[in-house]
Structure 1
Amino acid sequence: MLEDIRLLATVVEHTSLNKAAERLNVTQPALSRRIARLERELGIDLFRRIGKRLELTPAGQLTYEFALELRRFHGEFLQRLNAFKSEEAPVATIGASLTTLQTTLPGLITAMTEKHPNLEIKAITGKSHEIATLVKERKVDFGIVASSVEDESVTSIPLFDDILMLVLPRTHYILERTQLSMADLNDLPMILFAPGTWYRTMTDELFRQYGLKPDVRMEIDSFEAIVRLLSACRAGTLLPKSYLRPQLLEDNELYVVRIKELELAKRTTSLIHGNPEWLAASTRYLIEETIAFFARRGRESDAPGS
């Protein structure tokens, strides 16, 4: 049916079956049969035949408009597809803040490379404002940062909200209490991320807001190292929810504690890119796929039992 709808557009644009048949390199009777078949399948007349002239019915006009949209989408599809057909493997350079690199990027890169095996992804890290500068200077195709960017020359698209969660070894003494609050973090031995990221800034702001002074044993710039050291140091930590995968917690015998005040403090991770006119077709396609990836992940996390 879709192919017949595209044929209808050619008939309309050439004003006659004969001219359209010549353009399509088919016979006029064959084209007439295709249009008649389309009308039967749709169950409605698409043309009024006035002598030798064809005139669209209202339903025919609607079908023609759909045919134009179909043509446009087909063209965009081919353009995007061609971006992945070059002899050289397509390369995408993504700018990411350090926290984002550890929490958000691994899953995205895995999904992208599974779908596009020839795609080569490069990552450049920096603070959020540094990534915004790289986007403006076109040194990266797009960026993923744990904040929005207030800059008219940069487009910022929210991807998801992240919160901090208390993570403890399963054998930690504090878990003997039935319910924990922010006050329980006071004097609690903790391993924290090194200063300088949104994550550590958000952590320090929460401590100040609630007048807390945890016993900071270590400051490390690697989530993986923090996770591995928690049991050995009998310490807790605050980690972004986006990083806490079930297998990670199970492998390291860790337990996540939900604290209401922590869940109220959110940070939005956003995708940022420059002037859309600068973007290659392949980059626009990857941006759309990135947005769709996080939308799917958000729906999965909101599903019952997740």
Structure 2
Amino acid sequence: MQIQLLVFVTVVEKKNFSRAAESLNMTQPAVSQQIHSLEDHYGVKLFERNSKRVELTRAGEILHDYAVQILNLHQEARQAINDLVGLVTGKLMIGASLTIGEYVLPRLLAVFTRQFPDVEVAVSIGNTEVIADNALNSRIDVGLVEGPVNPANLMITPFLEDEMVLIVPSRHRLASVDTAETSDLSNETFIVREVGSGTRYVVEEVFRTLEFHPKREIQFGSTQAIKEAVEAGLGVAFISKWSIQKEIQLGTLSAVRVKGHSFPRPFSVIWKKGQFQTRAMKEFVNLTGSSDFLTALEKGSFPSPLE
């Protein structure tokens, strides 16, 4: 029955018998046979078929809801048994906001995969809003975010302290100073992230704290693009200290503090409240707060003049 339900759910997802067969590494006649067997078992028609796609009948819609639950419960049961005998296996779906995904998660995964090589890891990258939504809708097991999220249905645990610093090109007038006055920023163009980004939210908080609003902003969709824009002389930016270690070492960017101010922020682990936690997920969450990860992060980063 499990294989029949798996075939049924895959046909629903692919909306096509041929694509479902390809996804399952089966022949199309074999897929059709499994669906016919399922229809015979329940005594109902599950799909309305036409030449291009298949649509669920009302009975099919009802069965689909239960089939997804049954398959998920089966996976949870298998994972729980593996946990009992001490095996850390299965698939771990991780979501990360862009700064974390580009500059922190690779070092975290380097430690995790060495310790648990039998876990299949899948990573998706998006801004904080996207990652929080994916966690709430169970599209990922665990998320790593840099911005605030609604705590109503999410568990939120800070795991790493970040700091937003001002970056300027190496030949900028502020490149040779340790601290700048707020007034020094008045005529600068600021390079910022898109709305919905955790970095964008924090940068707006920085501007409010400084009681300052840029006269001109240019928006980019990633931290890497912001760094390259600043290097090219398009403007200046507030950015995560973890994202500029190489550029500081190479001398292509300079980091400056604003006199009398610091702008710390936490990176956080999130997951859906009440979610079943596999052993792999538990080990990953535990690793984010471990000394092994912090040591790997420090060894992998270049020394910063701000430290």
TM-score bucket of the superposed structures, by smaller chain: 0.5 to 0.7
Q: Give the match for residue 107 of structure 1.
A: 107
Which letter does structure 2 place at the counterpart of 1:82? L
Q: Give the match for residue 120 of structure 1.
A: 120
The verdict on how the C-alpha distance between 1:134 and 1:226 changes in structure 2, with shifts beyond 3 A counting, is: closer
- Mean Cα displacement is larger for which, 178-187 or 220-229? 178-187
Q: CA deviation at 1:295?
A: 5.0
Q: Give the match for residue 87 of structure 2.
A: 82
Q: Which aligned pairs between 1:30-49 and structure 2 lie closer than 5 A?
A: none
Preserved contact between residue 132 and residue 149 of structure 2 (Cα < 8 Å) = yes
Output the CA distance in 2 between the equivalents of 1:277 and 1:208: 37
The verdict on how the C-alpha distance between 1:192 and 1:252 changes in structure 2, with shifts beyond 3 A counting, is: farther
The verdict on how the C-alpha distance between 1:178 and 1:289 changes in structure 2, with shifts beyond 3 A counting, is: closer
Q: Give the match for residue 248 of structure 2.
A: 249
Q: Give the match for residue 285 of structure 2.
A: 287
Which letter does structure 1 place at the counterpart of 2:250? D
Q: Which aligned pairs between 1:211-230 and structure 2 lie closer than 5 A?
A: 211-216=211-216, 218-230=218-230
Output the CA distance in 2 between the equivalents of 1:195 and 1:131: 14
Percentage identity across aligned positions? 22
Output the CA distance in 2 between the equivalents of 1:159 and 1:80: 29
Q: Give the match for residue 160 of structure 1.
A: 160
Q: Does 1:171 align with 2:176?
A: no
Higher helix share: 1
- Mean Cα displacement is larger for which, 218-227 or 271-280? 271-280
Q: Which aligned pairs between 1:50-199 and structure 2 lie closer than 5 A?
A: 79=84, 81-84=86-89, 90-147=90-147, 149-151=149-151, 153-175=153-175, 179-199=179-199
The unaligned stretches of length 5 or more in structure 1 are 1-75, 85-89
Q: Secondary structure at the match of 1:194?
A: coil
Output the CA distance in 1 between the equivalents of 2:127 and 2:193: 14
The unaligned stretches of length 5 or more in structure 2 are 1-80
Output the CA distance in 1 between the equivalents of 2:167 and 2:219: 15
Cα RMSD for the two superposed structures? 3.5
1:171-207 C-alpha deviation (Å, 9 max, x unpaired): 2123355741222111123322233212112212322
Q: Give the match for residue 18 of structure 1.
A: none
Output the CA distance in 2 between the equivalents of 1:100 and 1:202: 14
Q: CA deviation at 1:296?
A: 4.5
Output the CA distance in 1 between the equivalents of 2:82 and 2:207: 50
The verdict on how the C-alpha distance between 1:179 and 1:136 changes in structure 2, with shifts beyond 3 A counting, is: closer
Preserved contact between residue 228 and residue 252 of structure 1 (Cα < 8 Å) = no
1:111-141 C-alpha deviation (Å, 9 max, x unpaired): 3234444543222344445433433433211
Q: CA deviation at 1:149?
A: 4.5
Preserved contact between residue 148 and residue 158 of structure 1 (Cα < 8 Å) = no
Preserved contact between residue 145 and residue 198 of structure 2 (Cα < 8 Å) = no
The verdict on how the C-alpha distance between 1:216 and 1:251 changes in structure 2, with shifts beyond 3 A counting, is: farther
- TM-score normalised by L of structure 2: 0.60
Preserved contact between residue 169 and residue 234 of structure 1 (Cα < 8 Å) = no
Report the count of equivalent residues: 223
Q: Which is higher, the Rg of structure 1 or of structure 2?
A: 1
